């Protein structure tokens, strides 16, 4: 039977990237998505914005909602200091199978814990299951209608502290209007928009960075 796009993306990583070299994995995926098949990675343009937010924050505890093939997982983990941890949640088991291999190929599996399942099921279990008190950075890149409920759930579970940064992908395309309205109007957040483009295209998209004020 025909292979899936994530399987073909993984094949491109294994063919063109060097084991243990995260940058070569990132470049191989970007090349594949720009010249062979579009795929919904955050991509190189928004990825540079993501890099700058991570580098400036130097987070110890990172949560990623939506792993897909692990592109942004590798982008984030490659910048983390020793001892820092990234937990990434993926609902789709077929994506998780590919992401685990991409993460391993990049050689950053020691910093990453990929958890399969629904974000709403796992967010309430972060403390007792992973020993996490609060997150320093959350990257939202999963189903658009889950951004707002999951944010409220993280607030309710006490997973956000003064200064925690929420960074949300796709706030224009496909768009997350309810989430944007919330973080931009709530007194609990200081929010700003980084205008960019939908990965590998000329369509507008951007990242919203929202600092939790407690
Ligand atoms: C399946 O839709 C693909 C698509 C089609 C057109 C426009 C945007 C997107 C898109 C882009 C992204 O970065 C995404 N990131 C995370 N979860 C998504 O569902 C997602 C969708
Ligand atoms: Mg996205």
For the segment 147-165, the average pLDDT, to the nearest whole number, is 98
pLDDT bucket at 137, cuts 50 / 70 / 90: very high
Per-chain mean pLDDT for the chain: 98
Q: Atom 11 in ligand 1: which residue has the minimum CA distance? A: 40
Q: Tokens in use for 157?
A: 């579970």
Q: Atom 5 in ligand 1: which residue has the minimum CA distance? A: 174
SS3 (DSSP) at 108: coil
Q: Are 166 and 209 in contact (CB under 8 A)?
A: yes
Report long-range pairs for 144-152 (Cβ below 8 Å, ≥24 apart).
144/170, 144/174, 144/175, 144/176, 144/179, 146/65, 146/119, 146/120, 147/176, 147/178, 147/179, 148/176, 148/178, 148/179, 148/182, 149/120, 150/65, 150/119, 150/120, 150/123, 151/179, 151/182, 151/183
CA torsion sign for 187, 193, 199, 201 is positive
In the prediction, which pLDDT does 1 show? 82
In testing the pocket of ligand 1, which one of 9, 30, 38, 40 has its CB within 8 Å of the most ligand atoms? 40
Q: Tokens in use for 105?
A: 């190929």
Q: Which residues are close to ligand 2, an ion, with C-beta < 5 A?
A: 141, 169-170
pLDDT bucket at 195, cuts 50 / 70 / 90: very high
Q: Residue 77 above 90 pLDDT? A: yes
**To the nearest whole percent, how much of the chain has pLDDT over 70?**
100
For the segment 124-131, the average pLDDT, to the nearest whole number, is 96
What contacts 106, CB < 8 A, 6 or more positions away?
Answer: 17, 20, 21, 22, 25, 70, 74, 77, 78
Tell me if residue 178 is catalytic. Answer: no
Q: Residue 80 above 90 pLDDT? A: yes
In the prediction, which pLDDT does 16 show? 98
Q: Is the CB of 40 under 6 A from ligand 1?
A: yes
Q: Is the CB of 156 under 6 A from ligand 1?
A: no
Distance 155 CA to ligand 2 centre (A): 22
């Amino acid at each position: 039977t025909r292979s899936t796009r994530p399987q073909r993306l993984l094949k491109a990583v294994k063919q063109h990237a060097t084991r243990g070299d995260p940058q070569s994995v990132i470049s191989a995926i970007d090349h594949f998505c720009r010249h062979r098949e579009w795929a919904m990675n955050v991509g190189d343009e928004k990825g540079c914005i993501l890099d700058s937010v991570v580098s400036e924050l130097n987070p110890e505890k990172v949560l990623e909602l939506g792993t897909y093939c692990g592109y942004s997982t590798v982008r984030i983990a490659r910048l983390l200091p020793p001892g820092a941890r990234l937990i990434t949640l993926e609902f789709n088991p077929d994506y998780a199978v590919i992401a685990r291999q991409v993460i391993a190929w990049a050689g950053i599996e020691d910093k990453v814990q990929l958890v399969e399942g629904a974000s709403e099921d796992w967010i309430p279990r972060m403390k007792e299951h992973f020993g996490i008190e609060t997150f320093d950075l959350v990257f939202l890149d999963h189903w658009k209608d889950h951004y707002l409920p999951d944010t409220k759930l993280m607030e309710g579970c006490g997973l956000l502290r003064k200064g925690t940064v929420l960074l949300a992908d796709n706030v224009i395309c496909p768009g997350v209007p309810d989430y944007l309205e919330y973080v931009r109007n709530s007194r609990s957040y200081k929010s700003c928009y980084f205008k960019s483009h939908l990965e590998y295209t000329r369509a507008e998209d951007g990242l919203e960075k929202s600092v939790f004020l407690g």
